[in-house]
Amino acid sequence: MLGAPELDVALLAFLLHFVWEFWQVPWYQGMNDLPHLAGVLMCSRAAAGDAVIALTAYAGPALMARSRFWARDASLRLLAAYLGIGLTITVGLEWLATEVLDRWQYVDVMPTLPLLGTGLAPLLQWIVLPLLLLWLLRRAWRPLG
């Protein structure tokens, strides 16, 4: 696509997560009440952070496979590492943001993990979107013809 797998991952991850961030706005306290521009900027920052998480998660299997294009022929082991890294970072950051730093809070009806309190929406985000990202990458990197 862009000549370097990291650029492809960063761009696609940002775009996918940008859409998701807007979708999950109702699950976070106060987000519906923000002025439009403030909400767009907050979702943009969140999507940029998500792209960094995606790049970090992508790097783990790349090191394991010794290939920056590991997603082309991803084994179950590499896929598990990719999802595991992304989910671990997400759970850690969500716990830090909601329980320690009080950066944001979920609405009362958000289903959460026991003990850690991580919301279901960010967990699903880091299962659904990474798999969609890999599918898109494989299609983009497939030889034409």
Looking from the CA of 98 toward its CB, the CA atoms found within 13 Å total 20
Under the banding of pLDDT at 50, 70 and 90, the label for residue 136 is very high
How far is residue 55's CA from residue 100's CA, in Å, rounded to a whole number?
25
pLDDT per residue over 111-134, tens digit each? 998 888 899 999 999 999 999 999
Only one residue has tokens 């961030």, namely 21
How far is residue 126's CA from residue 53's CA, in Å, rounded to a whole number?
10
Rounded to two decimals, what is the model's pTM? Answer: 0.92
- Extract the tokens encoding 127: 């299962």
Q: CB of 81 within 8 A of CB of 60? A: yes
**pLDDT at residue number 101:** 95
CA angle 132, 117, 55 (to 5 degrees): 35
Only one residue has tokens 């002025």, namely 35
